[in-house]
Amino acid sequence: MFNESESRRPLRSSLPSTGSAPTHPRLLAWLDEVVALCRPDAIHYCDGSAEEADRLARQLIESGTLIRLNDELVPNSVYARTDPDDVARVEDQTFICSEDERNAGPTNNWMDPAQMKRIMSDLYDGCMVGRTLYVMPFCMGHLDAADPKFGVEVSDSAYVVLSMRIMTRMGREVLETMEETEADFVPCLHSVGMPLEPGQADVPWPCNETKYIVHFTDEKMVWSYGSGYGGNSLLGKKCYALRIASVMARDEGWLAEHMLILKLISPEGRAFHIAAAFPSACGKTNLAMLDPTIEGWRVETLGDDIAWMRFGQDGRLYATNPETGFFGVAPGTSFETNPNAMTAIRKGNSIFTNVAMTPEGDIWWEGMTKDKPETLSDWKGRAWHGKSGPEGGRPEEKAAHPNSRFCTPIEQCTILADEYHDPAGVPIDAIIFGGRRENTVPLVTQSRDWRHGVFMGATCSSESTAAAKGAVGVLRRDPMAMLPFIGYHVADYVQHWIDIGKGAEQSKLPKIFYVNWFRRDEDGRFMWPGFGENSRVLKWIAQRIAGEVDAMETPIGLLPAEGGIDVDGLEISDEDLAGVLGYQEHEWRDEVPRIGRWFDSFGWRLPREMVDELLQLETALGREMSNFGH
Ligand SMILES: Nc1nc2c(ncn2[C@@H]2O[C@H](COP(=O)(O)OP(=O)(O)OP(=O)(O)O)[C@@H](O)[C@H]2O)c(=O)[nH]1
Ligand SMILES: O=C([O-])CC(=O)C(=O)O
Ligand SMILES: [Mn+2]
């Protein structure tokens, strides 16, 4: 695959190695090529064991990449500070390299796969000199799933090994299953892009200014170079479970989505399964672990970031979480906002990246406690005293990077639903789309039907966050919260959603809702308290599914009727409540041409159904305008 066969290149078999080598023929052939190209000094075949993780953590602590945290406060946990320029996904440098440019579509960067391979092979040439190559067989989803999805990540970063072990099923058992069943796998090649010459000292966070996150979607292969940060380096997550899997899902008739999965249980004990898509840093982890403020209602967690949904024998859509950990946004997480996440985190066995640290060796971030500790060392390693900000910095700086993260095993979540362990997953009753909009989009809207729901998802928009490099707070369309993760043409993706609905028995399809927790008043204050109070919206959704409450038909969809949302005991002014629940016609009249321009960008592949929906919205708004005479 690299068009290289020079004899000076090292042979894998001549390298010092630890762990047991695979026998899988395709894997061996691929490893031979990687070794010849990247030229690591040694190779380690990961077994995924706790002993292996311990050993690697100790090495990384010694070399200065990791700091051990206080065992009494966060047991068995470590802390990493990245290079200040390697803190988020790099969407500009993320590519979908399909053979045919037209299949990448207008929302992805594209390059000819052969050209990309030439560029990256030059970068990979000798990129692991002085380093160890780690081989990580992994499985996204259950090993005993009907159609298990295997991958093998090879990386020169032990931080990646420790993180992959938390986030995926990784190691010996996976390899054995792959070998026994002669299963194919997605090759995922990762390098931090910083070789070490003999005698050259390493830096705490090796990376390269040049970064590429590349998906060969026809071949089903991932190449990542230059970044050690989560979404760029843990290749099972966004690269495989969303970008590559979305292509598989299109071809095989299922859905790979950027969604949390939760189980909502009513006071009578009735269970509702809900999948919800919000863009990065817009509230998936928080909703997945929600602690309801309303009497008698409970939430159990199934997943907080990725959902794979397939039709079951009974014609219903079943969701599974292919991951085994949380890679959650730290700032804003507290015992008040997300007690379940805090409890899971406090059990330890976690990796914290770019948070702040107290002198006692505890973690801290903005929003964790009301008051900032007196002394801290921040995510850049600078000392903080009192309120004055970092030494040599500005007082308004944050001690934890806004995209700092905790990486924690999902099993530590005390409200994990039993069904998480079921390879068949859970039947989904409702799908929620959402975004971060300071205006226009009401707290909750139900779609009239599947097609209208797909329209809501396809036109979903959000203000950008710190989860990706670039300006924060810029409004962009983010279809189904998948904008950075669709592995093919966005129009075909929306068509796929429409087709999923067409092929199904309508009454068995999940109901679709659109929510917005982020509406603000003129002073920029959030009008809806959010977090645990979002349970009031979930209750309305459950009651809609059960047919227990009425809704109001409006041009934009079905809104809660007067008194429909349970606000018993909620501290909210009538003005704020009306402000979040209602919709402003003038805002929607402004929204229609924006949606039109968004759809224009799809080109001729834009599904006809979406044009119809937009026309219907426009007409309904027009009619409404004349009805009310303004
Ligand atoms: N105002 C408000 N903020 C919220 C709410 N839910 C979450 N947030 C904030 O949104 C930010 C991100 O929330 P997360 O739940 O971590 O987002 P996510 O969608 O899981 O993010 P990724 O892991 O990047 O995919 C945090 O700062 C939260 O405090 C809410 O209901 N209201
Ligand atoms: O992928 C990452 O780095 C973190 C994440 O969940 C997201 O950005 O949606
Ligand atoms: Mn995410």
175: containing domain: 12-60+92-252
By three-state DSSP, how is residue 330 classified?
A: coil
Q: What is the CATH number of the domain that holds 141?
A: 3.40.449.10
CA of 491 to the centre of ligand 3 (A): 22
Residues in the chain where the model's pLDDT stays below 70: 1-8, 624-630
483 belongs to a structural domain: yes
Q: Which residues are catalytic?
A: 282
Residue 626 has a pLDDT of 53
Torsion, CA 426, CA 429, CA 434, CA 440, rounded to 10: 180
Burial per residue of 337-364, b for 16 or more beta-carbon CB atoms within 10 angstroms, e otherwise: bbbbbbebbbbbbbbbbbbbbbeebbbb
% residues pLDDT > 90 (the chain): 93
617 belongs to a structural domain: no
- In the annotated binding site for GTP, the residues are 281-286, 405, 436, 531-534
391 belongs to a structural domain: yes
Predicted model pTM: 0.96
Instruction: Collect all residues with Cβ–Cβ distance below 8 Å to 415 and sequence separation of at least 6.
Output: 289, 298, 299, 300, 301, 340
82 belongs to a structural domain: no
Instruction: State if residue 332 touches ligand 1 by the CB under 6 angstroms criterion.
Output: yes
Helix axes 608-628, 585-600, angle to 10 degrees: 160
Looking at the structure, tell me whether residues 343 and 206 fall in a common domain.
Answer: no
CA of 280 to the centre of ligand 2 (A): 6
The residue whose CA has the least distance to atom 2 of ligand 2 is 231
Number of domains in the chain: 3
Looking at the structure, tell me whether residues 564 and 523 fall in a common domain.
Answer: yes
Instruction: State if residue 293 touches ligand 1 by the CB under 6 angstroms criterion.
Output: no
Q: What is the CATH number of the domain that holds 368?
A: 2.170.8.10
Residue 8 has a pLDDT of 64
Residue 597 has a pLDDT of 97
Which one of the ligands is nearest to 230 CA? 2
According to DSSP, residue 559 is labeled: E
565 belongs to a structural domain: yes
The residue whose CA has the least distance to atom 4 of ligand 2 is 231
The residue whose CA has the least distance to atom 9 of ligand 2 is 280
Atom of ligand 2 nearest to the CA of 468: 8
CA of 365 to the centre of ligand 2 (A): 18
Instruction: State if residue 283 touches ligand 1 by the CB under 6 angstroms criterion.
Output: yes
Q: Is the ipTM of this complex over 0.95?
A: yes
Looking at the structure, tell me whether residues 227 and 109 fall in a common domain.
Answer: yes
Instruction: State if residue 286 touches ligand 1 by the CB under 6 angstroms criterion.
Output: yes
* Domain end marker among 383, 409, 435: 409
Looking at the structure, tell me whether residues 404 and 502 fall in a common domain.
Answer: no
181 belongs to a structural domain: yes
- In the annotated binding site for Mn(2+), the residues are 238, 258, 305
* Domain end marker among 232, 252, 272: 252
- In the annotated binding site for substrate, the residues are 89, 229-231, 280, 403-405
CA–CA gap between residue 60 and residue 542 (Å, rounded): 48
The residue whose CA has the least distance to atom 26 of ligand 1 is 332
Which one of the ligands is nearest to 238 CA? 2
613 belongs to a structural domain: no
Residue 520 has a pLDDT of 96
Sign of torsion over alpha carbons 81, 282, 546, 268:
positive
